[in-house]
Amino acid sequence: MFKIDVPTEVLLSEESLDVFRSLHKIAASIEKAAVEKGYDRSKAFVGGSCKPLFCQDHPDCLVLSNNGKCRHPHIARPSMSGFGINVSHLVKAAGWEMDRITRETDPEAVKMGMLSGLVLIGR
């Protein structure tokens, strides 16, 4: 598991899209490195949906609509929660603190937010 600490004001801005894209890139890179080392059953997951990051100009996700394969398989990774992973429990087990950031979060009261990813390594 890995995390990125991000200022709350960034998470509440349009800049958040770039940070979430970076989260996907990191997860995809770790997964790719594991596969290249012979762990061919490795699988990466991230927090949040890939649709607004990579397919915002398309009405549907091809995978979720059963109309085809992912348009961005080299970089887009599925959501942890979408696969039933309780991210809050996982973060707590890692010993990390997590504040839930919403549109109502005051960046002065909660200075930093966290994004996380998970890469399962396997053969």
Q: SS in 3 state form for 93-119? A: HCCCCCCCCCCCCCCCCCCEEEEEEEE
- pLDDT (tens digit, 9 = 90+) per residue, 15-29? 999 999 999 999 999
Amino acid at 44: A
In this prediction, residue 44 carries a pLDDT of 98
Tens of pLDDT, residue by residue over 55-111, are 999 999 999 899 999 999 999 999 999 899 999 999 999 999 999 899 999 999 999
**Model confidence at 13, in pLDDT bands (50, 70, 90)?**
very high
- At 38-59, the pLDDT tens digits run 999 999 999 989 999 999 999 9
Report the run of H or E that residue 118 belongs to, with start and end.
strand 112-120
What sign results for the dihedral spanned by CA atoms 74, 100, 6, 35?
negative
CB 117 within 8 A of CB 20: no
Residue 31 confidence class, pLDDT cut points 50, 70, 90: very high
The residue extents of the domains of the chain are 2-120
